[in-house]
Every structure is written in C-alpha cells, then in structure tokens.
Amino acid sequence: MLVKLSSSSLKQTRWYEYGVRFLLGGFATVFAGIVSTRFGVSAGGLFLALPAIFCASATLIESHERRAKQRTGLDGRRRGQQAAALDAAGAAMGSIGLGAFAGVFYVTVLSSVIGAFTAAIAAWAVVSVSAWWLRRKLRSTSRHSRSERAARSEGGRSSLA
C-alpha cells in the first residue's frame, strides 16, 4: 500500500478529541519545563521524548476502528487492538528518527540555531521514513521467501507421492 494523505479520517474525530490532545501536549510541554527547572536540564531533556499524547492517540485509533467494525455488525475489539498496535509499531520506527533529531540538534545548535532546527527536523523525517520503509521491505522479503519455501516443499512432497 502506498502512503496516502486523506482528510476523510478527520471527520471521524470528535471535537473534544482534538481538545484532549491539545491539553495533553500543553501539559507535557509545561511538565518538561518544570522538571528542567526543579531537577536540572539533563532530567528535563528526557521528557522531550515523553509519549505525551500516545495514550490518547492509541485509544482514539482503537475506538475509531471498533466503531467502524461495529457499524457492520461485528465486535471490532480485536481489530481496534490491531490498529493501535500498528500505530505503536510506527511510533517505534519514529523514535529512531527522534533520536536522530536530538543527535543532530546537539551537534549543530552551537553553530547556528535556525540551522540546527532545520537540520534536526530533516534528520527526523529522513530517518523515520527510511526506518519505516526498510522494515516494510524486510517484512515483504521474509514473507516472500517463506511462501517460496512452502511452495517448494509442497512441490517436493507431491513429486514423492
């Protein structure tokens, strides 16, 4: 499946769900600032990669998928869990990019602040998308070789019979 950009999924989201994400994002940023002030910048830095809105996003995805299945008369609970798990797998890939963001920012910020932000965002995007693409390629290659092996053993069995 190709990567697609579609606004149709926005219609599924209710207004308060946007509000919840805004509040969680705001509180996470304030919290990171408070930790930096109270416990030092090193401890505060950890919270720049806090999974602040992850619980809200995963719950949202799960409920959207469940609702969609329930409309067709099915339970949809398992489908919801699978969709949320896929989102989590994507976030795991994205966190490699987040590490690259932090590393590039650390190296470049002392020479140019604007350049550091630009380079760090570019690093995050390139590394995240590459990690996702690589995982997808490896999965499809292993699936393909598994099905080839199964077909070969099936062929061997039928020639023996």
Partner 1 sequence: MTEYILRFIAGGAIVSAFAIFGDMLKPKSFSGLLGAAPSVALATLGIAVVQHGPQYAATASWTMIYGAVALACYSLAVCHLLMRFRLAALPATTIAFVVWLAVAFGLLAGFGGAA
Among the listed residues 67, 103, 140, 151, the single contact to partner 1 using CB under 8 A: 103
Q: 138: part of which helix (H) or strand (E)? A: helix 113-160
Indicate which single residue of 70, 79, 109, 119 sits in contact with partner 1 (rule: CB under 8 A): 109
Site for partner 1 in 132-151 (CB under 8 A): 132, 136
- Sole residue written with tokens 């690259």: 100
One residue of 15, 42, 71, 159 binding partner 1 per CB under 8 A: 42
Can residue 79 be called a binding residue for partner 1 (CB under 8 A)?
Answer: no
User: Counting contacts by CB under 8 A, is residue 95 touching partner 1?
Assistant: yes
What's the closest the beta carbon of residue 88 comes to partner 1, in angstroms? Answer: 4
- Asked if 69 interacts with partner 1 (CB under 8 A), we say no
Quick one: which of 14, 67, 75, 106 contacts partner 1 (CB under 8 A)?
106
Classify burial at 128, counting beta carbons within 10 Å of its beta carbon; exposed 0-12, middle 13-18, buried 19 or more: buried
**Contact window for partner 1 (CB under 8 A) among 29-37, 67-75, 146-154:** 29-37
What is the identity of the amino acid at 103? G
One of 14, 46, 143, 148 touching partner 1 (CB under 8 A): 46
**DSSP, residue by residue, 22-85:** HHHHHHHHHHHHHHHHHH-HHHHHHGGG--TTHHHHHHHHHHHHHHHHHHTTS--HHHHHHHHH
CB of 120 to partner 1, least distance (A): 7
Phi-psi region of 76 (alpha: psi -120 to 50; beta: other; left: phi over 0): left
How many other CB atoms are there within 10 angstroms of residue 151's CB atom?
Answer: 10
The yes or no reply on residue 89 touching partner 1 (CB under 8 A) is: yes
